[in-house]
Structure 1
């Protein structure tokens, strides 16, 4: 099983659909592809630091087993032989789950978490796990456990977070399939800042363990097609998620309805989150350009007034501070001292909150949900910036670098976690300095396939994309 690489794209650049077709035709082997992905990772990693538990030999063992299945004409599942990665916080049996923090005890996990189990059952080659910040509580790659992750488009910038390594890995060509998680924007923010695609599904669409209000796992890929393919596997049922939706046999392979999908759609254009940092001019211009492309394709785009408030954002922030404060307070002092100081300061600021304050803060989750559903109900889909600014300095924990104002950049993303609506980020342009700009596409609750279809339509009409970044010369 070999190929003439002079007439085909680099193997690490190929999407999952192309790889699977090549495996069926026996023009490519999963071993060749995995070897190419390993070489790409080895070229990038000294600068990017996106991986954890990068184990080439284990990956090659998986690839050899996949090759044997394909040679027999008996692939194991939808993703057999396709390289992928899993975020640090998605447990894999026998491996510790550090959650990005030096404060976490490295105890081997007893079992694969649902997304890991589904990828393995489908035959995917797990090349590596990917990095995240302490406890996933930052939109950056800053961690006390992992080396500092960076953005392949500009190594002075961060990839975003908390699915930091996954976003960087997808943009850098570490294979086509990556899984991250999201509770306030942690799939979409790194997707937007790294120029890739990600879908935060409806709450419960992809089983996850442990479940939590607003928490979702999702695909992070270079193309809509690869995310749709992953959804067919990741959305399979798992009883461990007590918040999961009843399983639906959704026609994920119908993600491509062409540009006609947009004709007649009523689309809300949200340019002001109503809270947090203002949208920078370059970001606004790119979103307005995307809106114009939707209109040219036959959609009706209408302005949507902001529905979030600063009180909603602050309330969620204060509730999460108290949750983290209690968690950290339960640690032995020596362990707590290992937590990133920025997160310690953020969490400990809740020490003086009284019961009524925390209760009122907790109510902002529900108020956010009500506001989001009501505002979006007049539209088929809502588009907005994924974030109000492009990628920021890699060394910073947040755009403001202020733990008491650390969530000012999630005003566009967090409401859709709380409303349980599917929301994606897709690249829609670049800043003058060449950084990607993410467009968020949100749909009604349970309309995950529709969001994929609208995303694919936009993928077809958006302006020309720049080449993916290449590893620095050594």
Structure 2
């Protein structure tokens, strides 16, 4: 049976538009119908406006009819995370305490999507201020994982991960400051690339903060990077323009031959690695070896002091932000976030200096540890997706980041890092493999991920909406 239109990749849709075999309006209707079947189960979307979606699709249809598409993704459905501003829309940042003021302008990723003719399906849900690795929010309904509705999709790009796994079209944008692209990608079984810092400009910029594609395939991410990458003066950390041959993402399994691969199986801090995750990542490393790579174990380089320092710094940042809210507004923030932020109230200047210094120490340690290798493999998370209602795996605001020891160092070192599915737990939950490259080698990470995509075990079918029970009234 042919794939439904909402299941098709972005390159395939563009090809069909070019041949005039399919219309952007047909695709938009297919996606909207699929969303209608899924959305009340997973709560991935914010600001879903079907009439607006169809209006964009009709404009794209006319451009294709005239042979004048705007760009690389004209007519392709796209979702954009809540915290990436879109002109005229409020940006609640997942929190009921936020003032719902329409954004004056598109943030850089949203601007690039519009410039290339993408059809904005909706924004996607996230937890309060992006400070959780779950879909728990005081503003949005609770986001759930399409693979198992009792589980979290991860976060903070919760809705984006769920939308990609559920098949809400091919292209989704999330953000990541400590794992917020890779964690939901790993737990939802999709692909993502956290680019080198500045490769995809973002506004407002922040140390370690990156935006990136969340897709089902490496091919979709490679196309999307052509759209999203490029300098933007609003991001003081954006990289200079660089002509990257993103179309060269697929050079086959031969890309792995002779590569020096580091295998990092212990983060050095936080939670212990689940046995099933350990097995899946080690099996993935064996496939790399069979393809001709040289895989060597890496010693942990993160420390609990590094993780705690970053945690304490972010607590203080949130403490200052929440302290500036009127009491009635602060009370609307998730209690977990309030407790976490309030715990920084007693930290003094010296403690904050020592906490902030851990960002630098983490950066230096990550770069030093990766230096002998072309690429590094590791778990994305030490644990599988946890209960949807929990804010974090520990459910402890004083131990909130124990699961990000594999992901956060590569935000601080500014290195590109991908998540790609490498297996499933006994419960059938996806397991993410992290692939890390040297700074600026975003294309190389895509190529290595594509090679693994070709050699990994066959993937399970994507989850489908639960069958609706039919109730008879006698």
Secondary structure in 2 aligned to 1:403?
coil
Structure 1: state its 5+ residue gaps. Answer: 1-6
1:417 partnered with 2:414: no
- 2:226 maps to which residue? 232
1:50-75: CA deviation from partner (whole Å, max 9, x where unpaired): 00001111011111111111111111
Q: Return the TM-score normalized by structure 2.
A: 0.98
Retained in 1: the 8 A contact 2:146–2:162?
A: yes
Retained in 2: the 8 A contact 1:134–1:144?
A: yes
Aligned residue runs from structure 1 range 211-250, under 5 A: 211-250=205-244
1:183 paired residue among 177, 180, 195 = 177
Q: Return the TM-score normalized by structure 1.
A: 0.98
- 2:159 maps to which residue? 165
Give the Å deviation of 1:466.
Answer: 0.1
Cα separation, 2, equivalents of 1:373 and 1:168: 32
Secondary structure in 2 aligned to 1:237?
coil
1:448 paired residue among 429, 439, 442 = 442
- 1:404 maps to which residue? 398
Runs of 4+ in structure 1 deviating by more than 3 angstroms, as ranges, are: none
- 2:20 maps to which residue? 26
- 2:246 maps to which residue? 252
Structure 2: state its 5+ residue gaps. Answer: 469-474
Retained in 1: the 8 A contact 2:84–2:109?
A: yes
1:363-413: CA deviation from partner (whole Å, max 9, x where unpaired): 000000000000000000000000001100000000000000000000000
2:85 paired residue among 88, 91, 95 = 91
- 2:378 maps to which residue? 384
Secondary structure in 2 aligned to 1:271?
coil
- 1:320 maps to which residue? 314
Give the Å deviation of 1:236.
Answer: 2.4
- 2:471 maps to which residue? none
1:402-437: CA deviation from partner (whole Å, max 9, x where unpaired): 000000000000000000000000000000110000
Give the Å deviation of 1:249.
Answer: 1.2
Retained in 1: the 8 A contact 2:230–2:239?
A: no
1:306 partnered with 2:300: yes
Cα separation, 2, equivalents of 1:244 and 1:19: 30
1:157-197: CA deviation from partner (whole Å, max 9, x where unpaired): 01000000000000000000000000000000000000000
Retained in 2: the 8 A contact 1:118–1:236?
A: no
Retained in 1: the 8 A contact 2:200–2:211?
A: yes
1:395 partnered with 2:396: no
- 2:117 maps to which residue? 123
Cα separation, 2, equivalents of 1:430 and 1:27: 37
2:428 paired residue among 414, 431, 434 = 434
Cα separation, 1, equivalents of 2:166 and 2:51: 21
1:332-362: CA deviation from partner (whole Å, max 9, x where unpaired): 1111111100000000000011110010000
Cα separation, 1, equivalents of 2:334 and 2:183: 21
- 1:61 maps to which residue? 55
Secondary structure in 2 aligned to 1:23?
helix
| Equivalent pairs, count | 468
Give the Å deviation of 1:237.
Answer: 2.1
- 1:4 maps to which residue? none
1:265 partnered with 2:259: yes
Cα separation, 2, equivalents of 1:321 and 1:358: 10
Cα separation, 2, equivalents of 1:11 and 1:317: 43
Give the Å deviation of 1:238.
Answer: 1.2
1:13 partnered with 2:16: no
Retained in 2: the 8 A contact 1:185–1:413?
A: yes
